[in-house]
Structure 1
Amino acid sequence: MRDVIEGFLTFQQEIYPNRLELFKKLAEAQSPKALFISCSDSRVVLEMLTQQGPGDLFVIRNAGNIVPPYGPEPGGVTATVEYAVAALHVTDIVVMGHSNCGAMKAIAAGQPLDNMPAVSHWLRYSDSAKAVNEAREYGSADEKLNALVHDNVYAQIANLKTHPTVALALDQGQLDLHGWVYDIEAGVIDALDGPSRTFVPLAENTKVSALSTKLG
């Protein structure tokens, strides 16, 4: 914790004074550009990856970058999605998986989770990705895991579409959906191309969307 506290003190003493006007503005309101739904993994730092600053991104982080289908599931994902779309009027939502994801690794390997019942319950929201993944053949465990990370992003976007605020914004052409997978070692992102249902390099396909038919 000492490093964390010292980091805050550096922010307070050096960074904050140099950006005082920005923080005064942010103290009154926020207007983020996009909602990111990413994994809680400490290696995935969205603001660093996207080079965005305070106030630019609205973020949900959880194990496995999961979005439960719309319903009474506690935990805040549904409420946060609803607030981002209905109150903050974000124009883009990105579901972002990443390489070597611990949650997906547990699913791919069939790892027993008896000692973590809450995690086991939570990962059931990836069952559709698991079913698709297990129907294929793979050359290695790493290949299976990598495929599952991508399958899960696709599945969570499908879950996201069941949320009423998302469905309405999509129908009105006010929202776009994106599915990204970040490769930690390579420093690249693959993005879901909705029409082809394949992942393509984001660097070469900057306008790609997860929607089969982009509205608006």
Structure 2
Amino acid sequence: MANIIDAASRFQGEVFARHRSLYEKLAREGQNPNALVISCADSRVVPELIAQAGPGELFVCRNAGNIVPPFAQMNGGVSSAIEYAVVALGVSDIVVCGHSGCGAMKGLMKPESLEPMPNVAAWLRHAAAARSIVCEAYPEDLPEPERLQALALENVRVQLDHLKTHPSVAAKLALGEVRLHGWYFEIESGAILALDGASGAFAPIIEGKAAPVAFAPASRAPLALAAAE
């Protein structure tokens, strides 16, 4: 803890001093982030660092396993963060970011390991569909590292589906005012894979090339009601 306290004490004199005008502007005008990032709480995954974003540029929500509970099942911090980001802040993009070596996914693979952590076990039930997909649709002899990666990738897909159940997100999707992105961060290489909604595959994000988008519907007008006969 001493190193954290030391760093905090240096922040105002070193870091803040270099960016004083930016912080003063943010304090005066408020935040206006372009994207909401829902990532794992893993200490090795830092969304602002991955996206090279500065203060005010990202609205970040972190939790064990980058989970998005379906709207009807939980009114909690994640649901509130999503609603605030979409309605109050008007973000145009939402990213769900999984990662390699995820402890939550390891626990999902081996539920017995979660017995001492009942709250974690209950939370990870929101990722149960991903585990079922890997158990049923992937080869039984898949080596454990590949199985863990497959689970993390499928979990990103599942959480994107959950995201679309939130009324605020559903409305913006129908209007074409928000795009959904599924990312996977490989800690050991720094590679970032993005879900391509058109092909259903994850593809590397390459500098200078537009990243795949998981879900970006075209704007459409509300459906007309059929006239009563």
Tell me, in whole angstroms, the C-alpha distance in 2 between the residues paired with 1:95 and 1:195.
17
Compared with structure 1, are the counterparts of its residues 18 and 112 closer, same or farther at alpha carbon in structure 2 (3 Å cutoff)? closer
Residue aligning to 1:129: 130
The question of 1:25 aligning with 2:25 is answered yes
SS of residue matched to 2:72: coil
Greater shift after overlay, 195-204 or 29-38? 195-204
Tell me, in whole angstroms, the C-alpha distance in 2 between the residues paired with 1:170 and 1:153.
18
Q: CA RMSD in A?
A: 1.3
Whichever residue aligns with residue 17 of structure 2, its letter is P
Question: Does structure 1 retain, via aligned residues, the 8 Å contact 2:98–2:153?
Answer: yes
Greater shift after overlay, 106-115 or 94-103? 106-115
Residue aligning to 2:144: 141
- State the number of aligned residues: 215
Q: How does 1:94-173 map to 2 (within 5 A)?
A: 94-135=95-136, 136-137=138-139, 138-173=141-176
Structure 2, unmatched stretches of 5+, are: 220-229
Runs of 4+ residues over 4 Å off in structure 1: none
Residue aligning to 1:210: 214
Deviation at 1:27, TM superposition (A): 1.2
Deviation at 1:207, TM superposition (A): 3.3
Deviation at 1:109, TM superposition (A): 2.9
Tell me, in whole angstroms, the C-alpha distance in 2 between the residues paired with 1:119 and 1:185.
25
Tell me, in whole angstroms, the C-alpha distance in 1 between the residues paired with 2:121 and 2:131.
13
Tell me, in whole angstroms, the C-alpha distance in 1 between the residues paired with 2:206 and 2:160.
21
Tell me, in whole angstroms, the C-alpha distance in 2 between the residues paired with 1:104 and 1:89.
31
Larger Rg: 2
SS of residue matched to 1:97: strand
Deviation at 1:74, TM superposition (A): 4.2
Q: How does 1:181-200 map to 2 (within 5 A)?
A: 181-200=184-203
Residue aligning to 2:223: none
In the TM superposition, what whole-angstrom CA distance separates every residue of 1:25-72 from its partner, at most 9, and x where no partner exists? 111300011000000000001111111111110011000000000025
User: With structure 2 as the length reference, what TM-score do the two structures score?
Assistant: 0.90
Deviation at 1:17, TM superposition (A): 1.7
Residue aligning to 2:61: 60
